[in-house]
Amino acid sequence: MVFPGLDPANYRPHGLHSSERIWPETNCYVDLWIEVLSAQNLPPEAMLGFTLTQDFEGDQATFFKVPLEDLETLFGIRVTELAIFDRPELHVLEQIARGRLCLMELDSFHLPDTRGLTYRQEHGKTTVAINRLDLDRRELDYFHNAGFFHLSGEDFDGLFQMNAASDALPFLPYTEFAKFPASYPEEVAIRETAWRLLRHHFTRRPAKNPIRAFAEVFPAQVERVAERDFGFFHKYAFNTLRQFGANFELLASPLAWLDDKTFAKAAEQALKISEVMKSTQFQLARAVTRKKFEPLATALDPATEAWDSLMTEMAVTLDGTREAA
């Protein structure tokens, strides 16, 4: 066990995964790190300045992931790829014995926490962080999405392909492992570093408004989505509207954590983007069902304007706080 004392039966997710949020879950990688940091009494808000850099990639929003160098700069946590040349579960056991957390891309078909979505219904790639693995009992305790969970038995066998045929292709999931420092910085130092990273990521923001770029192709993309089975709608919405919406709701959180008064206007604009993406997702579902796409032509306009206002507010605020410093 990497973090002793954690029990999936009574685990309480961090507030960033509250059911009252616009997007209680974001994507598997960021959600996972929110909970891993929270489990160590570290503020996950500190790592979220990178959300300023989200762009539109032509067919999808940037699948936003915390830069690994930020985790090291903020907390001293070093993450790198783990080579898989033997049975994956054996590599995981070795690293757990060394106090290291393995992050592994696995099939959500075998993850019971996705019941009602993909569990025993659909195969899909997702990332989990393994806190405890018992090979004899075929048990696993793992961080995934917005919580900390347990699985065993057939799910364990399926996840690690224990019953694969002898001539099956080797199971070689992409795996990272996290090395944790002997002690973490004080919160004052973490806040100072978070300020510095926020300024750094602001300089890396997209040169052009990504919401506007998305809005220009959105109606045409939706018409093509409507030609597919309805299940494809969920995949498209997840990689566009949800990624934008969740990203900017998360951006509002470190702004409030660093200085809720100073960043009040910027956080308001970030949340506006998030809210528009949520409402547009409902409009998208109706449009795909009814094959009526005209209302989508202007659906993203408020979010486009909010992005411009957000970046203007950030520029003014960061310039002012730099002068004050």
pLDDT (tens digit, 9 = 90+) per residue, 130-175? 999 999 999 999 999 999 999 999 999 999 999 988 888 889 999 9
Comparing 322 with 320, the larger pLDDT belongs to 320
Q: Let me know if residue 207 belongs to a domain.
A: yes
Do 97 and 198 belong together in one domain? no
Number of compact structural domains in the chain: 2
- Which region holds residue 144: left if phi is over 0, alpha if psi is between -120 and 50, else beta? beta
Q: Supply the pLDDT for residue 170.
A: 87
Positive or negative torsion for Cα 71, 200, 252, 282: negative
Q: pLDDT tens-digit profile of 41-88? A: 999 999 999 999 999 999 999 999 999 999 999 999 999 999 999 999
- Give the burial string for 248-278 (b: 16+ CB within 10 Å, else e): bbbbbbbbbbbeeebbebbbebbbbbbbbbb
Q: Let me know if residue 54 belongs to a domain.
A: no
Tell me the pLDDT band of 322, cut-offs 50, 70 and 90.
low
Average pLDDT over residues 229-246: 93
Do 138 and 245 belong together in one domain? no
Q: Supply the pLDDT for residue 167.
A: 85
Comparing 66 with 117, the larger pLDDT belongs to 66
Rounded to two decimals, the pTM is: 0.94
pLDDT of 325 higher than 70: no
Instruction: Select from 136, 159, 179 the last residue of a domain.
Output: 179
Q: Let me know if residue 134 belongs to a domain.
A: yes
Average pLDDT over residues 87-101: 97
**Distance, CA of 170 to chain centre:** 28
Average pLDDT over residues 215-228: 92
Q: Which residues contact 187 (CB under 8 A, 6 or more apart)?
A: 43
Count of beta carbons in the 10 Å neighbourhood of residue 177 = 23
Domain span at 266: 187-324
Do 89 and 220 belong together in one domain? no
Q: Let me know if residue 198 belongs to a domain.
A: yes
Task: Tell me the pLDDT of the chain averaged across its residues.
Answer: 95
Do 99 and 117 belong together in one domain? yes
Do 163 and 222 belong together in one domain? no
Structure tokens at 126: 């997702």
* Cα dihedral value 237, 228, 59, 304, nearest 10: -50
Instruction: Select from 152, 179, 206 the last residue of a domain.
Output: 179
Tell me the pLDDT band of 320, cut-offs 50, 70 and 90.
confident
Q: Let me know if residue 23 belongs to a domain.
A: yes
Average pLDDT over residues 17-23: 96
Tell me the pLDDT band of 289, cut-offs 50, 70 and 90.
confident
DSSP tag of 110: G
How far is Cα 265 from Cα 48, in angstroms, rounded to an integer? 18
Q: HSE, CB side, 13 Å, CA atoms: give it for residue 188.
A: 0
Do 166 and 285 belong together in one domain? no
Do 20 and 155 belong together in one domain? yes
Tell me the pLDDT band of 288, cut-offs 50, 70 and 90.
confident
**By percentage, how much of the chain surpasses pLDDT 90?**
86
Instruction: Select from 120, 155, 179 the last residue of a domain.
Output: 179
Select from 253, 254, 246 the least CA-distant residue to 277: 246
Q: Which residues contact 269 (CB under 8 A, 6 or more apart)?
A: 306, 307, 309, 310, 313
